[in-house]
Amino acid sequence: MPEAFLNKVKHIVLKNIGNEKFGVSELAAEMGLSRSQLLRKIKSVAGVSANQFIRDIRLEEASRHLKDDKLTTSEIAYKVGFSSPSYFNKCFHDKYGFTPGDFKKQNGTTEQELIVSKSQHKKFGRTGILIVAVLVIISAAVFVRYSKTDERIPDKSVTQQASIAVLPLLDLSENKNKEYLALGLTDAITLELSKLKGLRVISRGSAMLFQDSVKLYSEIANQLGVDLLLEGSVIYGGDSLRVIVQLIKPFPEEKHLWANRYDQVASNIRHLSSDISSQIANEINLVVSPEKAGSANREIDPRAQELYLRGKYLWEKQNPESVSLAIDYLKESIELDPGFAPAFCTLAEAYMSKNKMFPGNNEEKLKNKMESQIAINYALDKAIELDGSLGEAYITKGMILRKVDWNWEGMKEMAEKGLKLNPNNKDGHMLLSDYHLIKGNYKKAVQQALVAESLDPLNPRIGCLVADRYMYAGKYEKSVDQFQKVLELYPRYAFAWDGIGFAYFMRGDKEKAKDSWKELHKIMGNISMAEYFEQNDFSNSISFILTKFTAGDKLYCSNPPIIAMAHTLIHKKEGALEYLELALKYRNEDLPVLMLHPVFAEIDSEPRYIDITNQVGVTIAR
């Protein structure tokens, strides 16, 4: 628990109190942690930086010496590890509102009386309040069954049109086996905040990149494009659970706006993902609609909640083994609590992931997709029936209408319903981008892709989506620039190398296109193909790779629309049409968007191509 951790830190600092060179690195070594781990732990548990926490311990010890000893102020400064009496005086005054000399005159003044005196002398700053909270935690003799400390400064100017990222909650439990719970709570808080109008909330994917980061808050906020950060920790021990969160405003100077602590017994785990997230949402927005606030009150079976969190954690790993195990956990969760809507929604998403990873041939994939659609639709309909405010259920249903049914108006309706409930859902905006693209409105397709990117700015998949939309709109320079931005962050992201190759081709630069695809094959481990691209011209390279594509070699692409695109690169119209028709036969989920790619411009007047567009229901607007 945090008291034990902080007490251990304090003990080690006091043991080295006279060593002015004893700092974060030395403390980390004695704690058996890396420097970055120590920085994050102290920040999450105490709400202040490690350097400040060490300095505060020195100052507390100084106040004891000032009260009990006959040493001079300078002697005490050196005794508690300050290299300069003047710096000691400044730090002491900043903390307590008195100089050390004035404090010596306060005969018998206790630490708490000193703090109260300062509040009368000078209004507390936010940092001071957080330090007091830490002192209370350290001195507490009894673990409170349920408590909440609140140091919020209402600041409407902060919350109006604000943007926020929820950094991954740290699992500070002694045996480190509750990461699924910490990340589950992170997701729940993010989801609850995402429902608030006027608040842009960064998606989990981008925020996850800063798990265990030692970057400054200002650097993190700058990269994510937000003006608020929420961070915290989860500590699980025995039958007790503690969650500590704090809201930080990094600009123009780092400011801790408030910090809350929630202590609950283990039997109350079912309340955490709804109760805590709702309270934090209230703290930031101050207004939550009754239906949203009310949804937090439903009793959830504790075991079902834990199984759901485990299942979602495994599903997010996105590999065949973890997805299959996730489905088992989610089914068990639903069996224990048939009224738990989020479990149904995540189960549907897990089935969709399993479909995508299905290893069979085109016939087997189609059969599996059609069979699993029944289970997916049942799960989504049940989720919506149980909780009509679950925006992600509508958006996931929109994905099914897009990928399986090719029902574009239904897809749009579901996306808009979901976004009305959760305007910060990036997937909803991506669906609307697809809708506008399919309907031939490239300008709106780009706009919706940019909104999705603003909600998940470090997600390479969305960065590539924006680049693709520029390419479809004929803005090839912007497309190249956008792909290059993705590659600056993710130099081995294969989809970006593939996409920029097509952007170069559409721009008329075949050599750069070939070089890009050469890099793609290096990343994929197809070294012989990369060498072939290096040694041959564009046409021969594409012809050679087509022999691999069409031979069904497992090392190479087997996606019919992609193979059709490759045929157009060397003007093989018949091959392009043949593979587009194959994609139509097996209802390939990529066909509706990929067949609108500008590389197909040379065949868009072909009757067979027009027939495919009519059957799929897409609009050509080149």
Going by pLDDT thresholds of 50, 70 and 90, the confidence category of residue 86 is: low
Going by pLDDT thresholds of 50, 70 and 90, the confidence category of residue 12 is: very high
Q: Who's near 295: CB < 8 A, 6+ residues apart?
A: 274, 387, 389
210 CB-side CA count, 13 A: 29
Lowest mean pLDDT among 135-144, 269-278, 384-393, 412-421: 135-144
Strand 162-166 versus strand 240-249 pairing type:
unpaired
DSSP 209: T
Whole-number Cα distances in Å, 254 to 127, 221, 281, 468: 10, 11, 21, 37
Q: Please answer whether residues 8 and 250 qualify as being in contact, where contact means their C-beta atoms are separated by less than 8 angstroms.
A: no
Name residue, tokens 């868009």: 604
Which token pair is 381? Answer: 């309909």
583-591 mean pLDDT:
94
Going by pLDDT thresholds of 50, 70 and 90, the confidence category of residue 191 is: confident
Give which of 141, 386, 520, 583 is closest to 597, Cα–Cα: 583
What 3 state SS string does 468-535 have?
A: HHHHHCCCHHHHHHHHHHHHHHCCCCHHHHHHHHHHHHHHCCHHHHHHHHHHHHHHHCCHHHHHHHHH
Q: Using the predicted structure, report yes or no on whether residue 1 has a pLDDT greater than 90.
A: no
* Amino acid present at 617: G
How far is 568 from 423, CA to CA, in rounded Å? 39
Lowest mean pLDDT among 280-289, 339-348, 549-558: 280-289
How far is 586 from 597, CA to CA, in rounded Å? 19
Under DSSP, is residue 242 helix (H, G, I), strand (E, B) or coil? strand
DSSP 36: H
160-184 mean pLDDT:
81
Q: Who's near 56: CB < 8 A, 6+ residues apart?
A: 48, 95, 131, 134
pLDDT given for residue 270 in this prediction: 52
Q: Please answer whether residues 310 and 328 qualify as being in contact, where contact means their C-beta atoms are separated by less than 8 angstroms.
A: no
How far is 115 from 140, CA to CA, in rounded Å? 17
DSSP 17: T
Q: Where are the domains of the chain?
A: 2-139, 148-296
Whole-number Cα distances in Å, 522 to 219, 461, 487, 494, 536: 33, 20, 15, 9, 16
Report which of residues 519 and 196 the model is more confident about: 519
For 448, other C-beta atoms within 10 Å of its C-beta total 24
Q: Who's near 560: CB < 8 A, 6+ residues apart?
A: 362, 579, 580, 582, 583, 586, 588, 591
Q: Please answer whether residues 496 and 460 qualify as being in contact, where contact means their C-beta atoms are separated by less than 8 angstroms.
A: yes
Share of the chain above pLDDT 70, in %: 82
pLDDT given for residue 291 in this prediction: 46
172-186 mean pLDDT:
80
| Architecture in CATH of 2-139 | Orthogonal Bundle (1.10)
Helices within 387-441 (DSSP H only): 391-400, 408-421, 426-438
Q: Using the predicted structure, report yes or no on whether residue 146 has a pLDDT greater than 70.
A: no
pLDDT given for residue 51 in this prediction: 80
pLDDT given for residue 240 in this prediction: 75
Q: Please answer whether residues 327 and 347 qualify as being in contact, where contact means their C-beta atoms are separated by less than 8 angstroms.
A: yes
Q: Using the predicted structure, report yes or no on whether residue 234 has a pLDDT greater than 90.
A: no
Under DSSP, is residue 199 helix (H, G, I), strand (E, B) or coil? strand
Give which of 267, 229, 235, 225 is closest to 249, Cα–Cα: 229
Share the mean pLDDT of the chain. 83
How far is 112 from 232, CA to CA, in rounded Å? 26
Q: Please answer whether residues 259 and 47 qualify as being in contact, where contact means their C-beta atoms are separated by less than 8 angstroms.
A: yes
Q: Who's near 599: CB < 8 A, 6+ residues apart?
A: 502, 505, 506, 565, 568, 569
Which token pair is 367? Answer: 């059969």
Whole-number Cα distances in Å, 435 to 359, 389, 421, 521, 611: 29, 23, 19, 32, 20
How far is 124 from 128, CA to CA, in rounded Å? 6
How far is 160 from 58, CA to CA, in rounded Å? 40
Helix (H) or strand (E) holding 549: helix 538-551
411-425 mean pLDDT:
96
How far is 246 from 255, CA to CA, in rounded Å? 11
pLDDT given for residue 272 in this prediction: 65
pLDDT given for residue 181 in this prediction: 82
- CB burial of 533-552 (b: ≥16 within 10 Å; e: otherwise) equals beeeebeebbeebbebbbee
27-40 mean pLDDT:
81
pLDDT given for residue 209 in this prediction: 93
What 3 state SS string does 115-147 have?
A: HHHHHHHCCCCHHHHHHHHHHHHHHCCCCCCCC
How far is 589 from 367, CA to CA, in rounded Å? 14
103-109 mean pLDDT:
60
Q: Using the predicted structure, report yes or no on whether residue 155 has a pLDDT greater than 60.
A: no
Give which of 293, 295, 269 is closest to 185, Cα–Cα: 269
Helices within 318-423 (DSSP H only): 320-336, 341-356, 362-386, 391-400, 408-421
Lowest mean pLDDT among 23-32, 63-72, 291-300: 291-300
74-91 mean pLDDT:
74
Q: What is the pLDDT of residues 305-314, one digit of tens each?
A: 889 999 999 9
pLDDT given for residue 447 in this prediction: 98
| Architecture in CATH of 148-296 | 3-Layer(aba) Sandwich (3.40)
The dihedrals phi and psi of 23, each to the nearest 5 degrees, come to: -135, -155
How far is 486 from 338, CA to CA, in rounded Å? 42
Q: Using the predicted structure, report yes or no on whether residue 389 has a pLDDT greater than 70.
A: yes
Going by pLDDT thresholds of 50, 70 and 90, the confidence category of residue 428 is: very high
How far is 95 from 127, CA to CA, in rounded Å? 9
Going by pLDDT thresholds of 50, 70 and 90, the confidence category of residue 137 is: very low
